[in-house]
Amino acid sequence: MQVHETGFEGLLILQPKLFKDARGTFHESWNETTFKELGLEIRYIQDNQSVSHKNVLRGLHFQHPPFAQGKLVRVTRGKALDVVVDLRKNSATFGKHFKIELSEEKANILWIPAGFAHGFAALENNTVFQYKCDALYNPEAEDCLLWSDSNLGVDWGIENPITSEKDEEGKKLIDLTNPF
């Protein structure tokens, strides 16, 4: 497993070793021992999966402490543009975003520590997005940053994304009562 820094403290790109042959591919997406050796001692307690049509945009979601979630995210079918926004007030990258294309083909993984808003846009039909969380979902702690906040400057690469009502009602960063 290779680890790549992102320029955002704690936000890491993980690239598993892919084994390919005539049958297809194989890789380890999670191995407790390997992750501990990488300094990522994370206890996962919830797995989530979504299936999205092309141009579906989900996010930018987060949970308030003490229910904030760290997430290990990947795409197991199709591809998605994954975006995070650093909400940690004392971070050098506060208010900035990071984006990466996650895909079945690349098998790349992103570790998102607590303190980030997270979202993604499906770039292909039937994109399967999976994530392991280190805290349980808590609807009372849930919040949403507006995906289209012009101050964030995120280019999602989609002209007319398909979003939920909840995501359209997200808060602009400037209006957010920041819990981090």
> Which pLDDT value is given to residue 4?
94
Q: Which residues are catalytic?
A: 61, 131
> Which pLDDT value is given to residue 51?
97
pLDDT digits (tens, 9 = 90+) for 74-101: 999 999 999 999 999 999 999 999 999 9
Name residue, tokens 């909400």: 87
Q: What is the mean pLDDT of residues 53-82?
A: 97
Following DSSP, what letter does each residue of 7-21 receive, concatenated? SSTT-EEEEPPPEEE
> Which pLDDT value is given to residue 149?
97
- Reported as a pLDDT band with limits 50, 70 and 90, residue 134 is very high
Entry pTM: 0.94
Q: What is the mean pLDDT of residues 6-35?
A: 91
Domains of the chain plus CATH, in order, are 44-175 (2.60.120.10)
pLDDT digits (tens, 9 = 90+) for 158-171: 989 999 999 999 99
